Amino acid sequence: MEHMVVIADDLTGASDTGVQFGKYGLPTTVIVDGQNLGQQARPGEVWSVNTDSRPLVPTAAYRQVFGVAEKLRELGFVHIYKKLDSTLRGNPGEELDAVMDAFAADLALVAPSFPANRRMVVDGGLVMHPIQKTVRDVPELFRAGMQRQVGSIGLATVRGGVQSLLTEIAARREAGQQVLILDATTEEDLAAIAGAAVQLPRGTVLAGSGGLAAHLPPAWGLSPSCPEVVRTPGVTLVVAGSRNRVTASQVGELLKVTTAPLVEVPAAAVIQGRAEEEMDRATATAARLLAVSPVPRLLVLTLDTLFTTREELPPETSSAHGIAIAGTLGEIARRLVTGGQVHNIVATGGDTAVHLCRILGAWGIRLVAELLPGIPMGRLMGGVADGMPVVTKAGGFGSPTAFVDIVQTFNNP
């Protein structure tokens, strides 16, 4: 297979989509910072690149993604997958425009649905369960952010099969539409879209969440490989920097069914400039908790605001301070890793994961398995934790028992 690249706007997205190729035996590496590209890709290798562009304003996101995409084109990548957040946060239209411009692409298929995580597109509307109501008009969202003609293809055509889709796509191209939004509510719908996509001309951009990506390898005729068992005896550190309600529920369940000690970092203290003091305190607390006999196999590091709803948070704990908070959690993790007290890492939240990797000096993650839908496992590449097993999870992904299931992978031989 020729070079394949996933272009994602955050690190957890790069990981949860990249692993869809890795679990079919394709060597897959997450690049932590898309601005640091260099080496030539090897044949059959998949790169999943984090552009770190989700929080940027639209014009800045376009420039950043265009620059990364241009470098990837120069490196020889020819199969392009633009990873979209399954709730369409960020700048999906502007970033897709940037990728298409950089690769001189004249067609993109867009299928954001991720049925395994209960996100679906029906009649052009993004529906999230259990909310069960349309939260985004997908075609309008892309029209607002792109310089290209945008059309949509409904469920009836998708369920008509691959040939039905190819005929409709050809007709839309004749009509001048270059970006096509496709309905999908089931895995079978996404499989049909993938089946049509692999028959389109080289250079067609595919865009979606991890849902569509999961169906591309079988559409290419690949079979799943036996996943590598990645497990290091010792302490697993769960770093929960996201304030997502899903993450709060998952951490709550983990604390309820295990004896894991909890170390909380006061968000307000970090925001007020006392980060160093809190890093010293948290590191000392963690060291004390891990010095008992028998040593706990699990430690949870999080913010004291995790179980506080966004509506209850004071204005000063807005996203403007996310970098300082994520950096603080990352530095505490680094101190525990270099002290030999932590042997596996689970990180949730895109900001948390990327700052953790940077502080540890990791330039990449070699993906090896998907533990749960959209929740990958890999090994850190480079830095003080080189080779250490790591799991990354988007804040809103997974069932209430997701963390329980993840840590059992490390704790059970």
Concatenating the DSSP letter of every residue in 147-190 gives: SS-EEEE-HHHHTT-HHHHHHHHHHHHHTT--EEEE-B-SHHHH
User: What are the two backbone dihedrals, phi and then psi, of residue 119, each rounded to the nearest 5 degrees?
Assistant: -120, 125
Q: Which pLDDT does position 43 carry in this prediction?
A: 64
Residue where the block lists tokens 């060597």:
27
Q: What is the pTM of this model?
A: 0.93
| Residue 185: per-residue pLDDT | 96
**Residue scoring higher pLDDT (40 or 311):** 40
| The pLDDT of residue 89 is above 80 | yes
Average pLDDT (109-123) is 95
- What is the structure's pLDDT at 396? 87
Q: Are 24 and 225 in contact (CB under 8 A)?
A: yes
Least confident of 37-51, 113-127, 157-171: 37-51
Cβ-contact 336, 237 below 8 angstroms: yes
The closest of 412, 398, 388 to 348, measured between CA atoms, is 398
User: What are the backbone dihedrals phi and psi of residue 298, each rounded to the nearest 5 degrees, phi first?
Assistant: -150, 140
User: For the chain, which residues make up each domain, given as ranges?
Assistant: 4-219, 236-411
Q: How far apart are CA 82 and CA 103, in angstroms?
A: 12
Given a contact cutoff of 8 angstroms between Cβ atoms, the answer to whether 196 and 166 are in contact is: yes
Q: Residue 411: its pLDDT value, please?
A: 75
Peptide bond before residue 233 is cis, with ω within 30 degrees of 0 = no
- pLDDT score, position 35: 85
Q: How many CA atoms lie within 13 A of 97 on its CB side?
A: 20
Q: From CA 325, how far away is CA 351, in angstroms rounded? A: 9
Instruction: Assess whether pLDDT exceeds 90 at residue 410.
Output: no
Give which of 313, 228, 331 is closest to 277, Cα–Cα. 331
Give, to the nearest 10 degrees, the angle between helix 350-360 and helix 11-22.
80
Query: Hey, how many other C-beta atoms are within 10 angstroms of the C-beta on 276?
Result: 11
Whole-number average pLDDT of the chain? 92
Q: What is the pLDDT of residue 312?
A: 42
Instruction: Please list, in sequence order, all residues whose beta carbon lies within 8 angstroms of the beta carbon of residue 258, skipping any fewer than 6 positions away.
Output: 298, 404, 407
Sheet holding 119-122, edge to edge: 119-122, 125-128, 133-137
Confidence of residue 64 (pLDDT cuts 50, 70, 90): very high
Q: Does pLDDT of 413 surpass 60?
A: no
Under the phi-then-psi rule, with left for phi > 0, alpha for psi from -120 to 50, and beta for the rest, what region is 399? beta
Listed residue (405, 356, 384, 399) closest to 15, CA to CA: 356
Q: Which fold has domain 4-219?
A: Rossmann fold (3.40.50)
Q: Does CATH place domain 236-411 in 3.40.980.20?
A: yes
Which tens digits make up the pLDDT trace of 220-256? Answer: 999 998 777 676 788 999 999 877 889 999 999 999 9
Tokens 């993906």 -> residue: 367
Question: Is a pLDDT exceeding 60 seen at residue 309?
Answer: no
pLDDT at 318 over 60: no
Average pLDDT over residues 150-155: 98
The pair phi, psi for residue 58, each rounded to 5°, is: -50, -45
The pLDDT tens digits of the residues spanning 380-401 come to: 999 999 999 999 999 888 899 9
Displacement of CA 29 from its chain's centroid (Å)? 13
The residues pairing with 263 across neighbouring beta strands, listed in sequence order, are 301
